[in-house]
Amino acid sequence: MSVFSPQLAARFDALVAKYPLRRSALVPMLLYAQDEVGYLSDAVLAEVAERIGITELDVRNVATYYSMLRFKPAGKYNVQVCTNISCMLRGGYEILERFQDELHIGHKGVTADGQFSLEEVECIGACCWAPAIQVNYDFHDELTPEQVPGILAGYRAKAEGKVADA
Amino acid sequence: MPRLVSHPDEVKIVTRRFGLGAANIDRYVELGGYESAKKCLEQGPEWIINEMKASNLRGRGGAGFPTGMKWSFVPKQSAKPKYVLVNGDESEPGTCKDHLIFLHDPHAVIEGTIIAGLAIGSKLGFIYLRGEYRYLLEIMEKAVADAYAKGYLGKNIFGSDTEFQIITQSGAGAYEVGEESALMESLEGKRGVPRIKPPFPAVVGLYGGPTVINNAETIATVPHVIAMGAAAYAEVGSPRNGGTRLFGVSGHVERPGVYELPMGYNLKKIIYEVAGGVRGGRGLKAVVPGGSSTPVLLPNEIDIGMDFDQVGKAGSMLGSGGVVVIDDQTCIVEFALRTISFYQHESCGWCIPCREGTDWLKKSLTRFHAGFGSMKDIDNIQYIAENMMGRTFCPLGDAAAMPTLGFVKKFRKEFEDHLDGKPCPFAKHVDLAVV
């Protein structure tokens, strides 16, 4: 039984058709599957292995290398705070602390309601607009700790369907 | 949306179309786009490579290798298909220039990839973006689809009998994959560990075929070189350093941002004039000139031209062009610790000197910064870093060792001030709990 949605399966088929080598689809497919399922469950890893035509062990060997891939669920909104040098110099740690205080969780923690998770991450390529964070794939630049509650409120409202786009 | 900045000293070549809606293909064409690719299609590979050589364009990823020469290394005849690989894994701390290129001018990346393909006789190019750049990947995917719809990509590009295809690819989080051989491994669906060289990618690269790998900024520059003419482009820069560079100025400056300045532009002027000086009128303590892996420069060392040769002569590297400015209220030991924590996290573990070296440097610096260090530790940090240099497959080991050596050598006094239970004079984040 497939854990892929028909859309994900179609995306996979389109992707593998493009490459000279089928397993070139492996890394992006793991990320796209994670986007849909929330994490790389055993079932996801098994299905990716089968679709590519390699062993599950081989898939795990590759998946454990990449820092964005995870093997247990994160929050619906995964808050990733950069504290690398350019962000650190402009208050990245203060931003991280404020998120910890607001969410009552630490690095790689998930809130009890499953809405948010928090991660301290390495450089996300927004150095000139520091301090910066990503919530899932959205960037938020030039932050101050005071903006943190508002960002969280925006995503809470989004989760409740109050606004179309936070 | 990342803020765009401007300064009168800028020479806008690569950033010429930024903010003008050029992600739209019609707008890009209106602004002169795809004319360079058409010209290259008419002129042929030899002409293209000669133009690139004459332009003095050097690799913008950090190594500064001459682009034309790199392309000329690809054998003309090859039993295996040849590939173009665009490196958009931009992950060097202090560097966010490719971010803006993908956002504002995705077609320049496509056009540059086509030209590279024509130059080496390749029919397939890959544009690899780091996994975190999802919104930029979507912009690139749309741009590629639009280029196919117009017939600029496909079996018969621009109505010719020449084929060129592009595949966009997402990474999934890995600094190491920005190294060219690790990038090829990742694209082949493997862990991003480096390959031993030789053979070099130009001979045995992706899927075993001859491969040209260029940084996204280099590739986005190519159509402009063709449009301006190689001589005019070379004229903009300094000797042997053609054109402009996208300098990302970050840290303690009044006006951080990505500025496009001629190669050889003075570093002191970048900080004090272009970026508005040190924030809050504070004093300058140090400058990391080209991304986190480049050795730090002291305030009396920054009156230099920013090109590969002059920064090299000053004992550092131009690297990725990411200028990180550090004010006098910053603890250098903490800064060194945060830097090495990054490399420890990103070391792929393949080569022992890097895997063990980064880990021990992080441990030593953590203890040191917490006030439990000894004089011997300072020498030990230096000893470990020196023994990592040149002993790994890829430059990540060097990238971790070089800045560490710089910090210890240039700020030894500040390291010594942390000894004997003295509290760090600046410390805020003693417990640096980095993953």
Cα angle value B305/B242/B288 (rounded, 5°): 35
Q: Cβ distance B338 to A87 under 8 Å?
A: no
Crossing angle of the two packed helices B352-367 and B332-346, in degrees rounded to 10: 150
Q: Each residue's pLDDT tens digit in chain B (435 positions)?
A: 899 999 999 999 999 999 999 999 999 999 999 999 999 999 999 999 999 999 999 999 999 999 999 999 999 999 999 999 999 999 999 999 999 999 999 999 999 999 999 999 999 999 999 999 999 999 999 999 999 999 999 999 999 999 999 999 999 999 999 999 999 999 999 999 999 999 999 999 999 999 999 999 999 999 999 999 999 999 999 999 999 999 999 999 999 999 999 999 999 999 999 999 999 999 999 999 999 999 999 999 999 999 999 999 999 999 999 999 999 999 999 999 999 999 999 999 999 999 999 999 999 999 888 888 889 999 999 999 999 999 999 999 999 999 999 999 999 999 998 887 676 777 555 444 443
Domain's final residue, options A45, A65, A85: A65
pTM: 0.96
A positions 48-67 inside 8 Å of B (CB): 52, 61-62, 65-67
Smallest CA–CA separation between B173 and chain A, in Å?
5
Residue A164 forms part of a structural domain: no
Let me know whether A97 and A55 are in one domain. Answer: no
- Which CA distances in Å does A162 have to A111, A151, A155? 21, 14, 10
Give the closest of A20, A123, A129 to B2, CB-based.
A129
Cα angle value B358/B359/B362 (rounded, 5°): 85
- What are the respective helix, strand and coil percentages of chain B, to the nearest 5? 45, 15, 40
For the purposes of burial, counting CB atoms within 10 Å of the CB of B192, is it exposed (0-12), middle (13-18) or buried (19 or more)? buried
Domain's final residue, options A33, A65, A97: A65
Residue A49 forms part of a structural domain: yes
Cα B248 from Cα B96, distance rounded (Å): 7
Cα B96 from Cα B94, distance rounded (Å): 7
Residue A130 forms part of a structural domain: yes
Across the interface, whether the CB atoms of B94 and A86 are under 8 A apart is answered yes
SS3 B427: coil
Chain A neighbors of B167, CB-CB under 8 A = 18-19
Let me know whether A25 and A60 are in one domain. Answer: yes
Give the up-direction half-sphere exposure of residue B125: CA atoms within 13 A in the CB hemisphere.
30
Q: Rounded to the nearest 5°, which phi and psi values hold at B278?
A: -70, 140
Cα B69 from Cα B417, distance rounded (Å): 48
DSSP chain A: ---S-HHHHHHHHHHHHHSSSGGGGHHHHHHHHHHHHSS--HHHHHHHHHHHTS-HHHHHHHHTT-TT--SS---SEEEEEE-SHHHHHTTHHHHHHHHHHHHT--TT-B-TTSSEEEEEES--S-GGG-S-EEETTEEE-S--GGGHHHHHHHHHHHHTTSSS--
Let me know whether A151 and A126 are in one domain. Answer: yes
Among residues B291, B351, B347, which one has the least CA distance to residue B361?
B347
Residue A71 forms part of a structural domain: no
User: Running DSSP on this structure, what letter comes out for residue B66?
Assistant: B
Let me know whether A48 and A105 are in one domain. Answer: no
Residue A138 forms part of a structural domain: yes
What's the domain count of chain A? 2
Let me know whether A99 and A151 are in one domain. Answer: yes
Give the closest of B99, B172, B186 to A68, CB-based.
B172
Q: Cβ distance B187 to B179 under 8 Å?
A: no
Let me know whether A89 and A135 are in one domain. Answer: yes
Let me know whether A100 and A148 are in one domain. Answer: yes
**Residue A150 is part of which domain span?**
77-159
Cα B304 from Cα B264, distance rounded (Å): 8
Let me know whether A85 and A151 are in one domain. Answer: yes
Let me know whether A18 and A90 are in one domain. Answer: no
We report the CATH number of the domain holding residue A58 as: 1.10.10
Let me know whether A89 and A132 are in one domain. Answer: yes
Sheet holding B211-215, edge to edge: B165-170, B124-129, B83-88, B211-215
Let me know whether A108 and A136 are in one domain. Answer: yes
ipTM of the complex: 0.96
Smallest CA–CA separation between B184 and chain A, in Å?
10
Let me know whether A86 and A146 are in one domain. Answer: yes
Q: How many other CB atoms are there within 10 angstroms of residue B161's CB atom?
A: 7
Crossing angle of the two packed helices B396-410 and B332-346, in degrees rounded to 10: 170
Chain A neighbors of B252, CB-CB under 8 A = 89-90
Sequence-distant (≥ 6) Cβ neighbours of residue A101 within 8 angstroms:
none
- pLDDT for B430 equals 44
We report the CATH number of the domain holding residue A96 as: 3.40.30.10
Strand partners, A138: A135
Residue A112 forms part of a structural domain: yes
Domain's final residue, options A35, A65, A95: A65
Residue A60 forms part of a structural domain: yes
Residue A55 forms part of a structural domain: yes
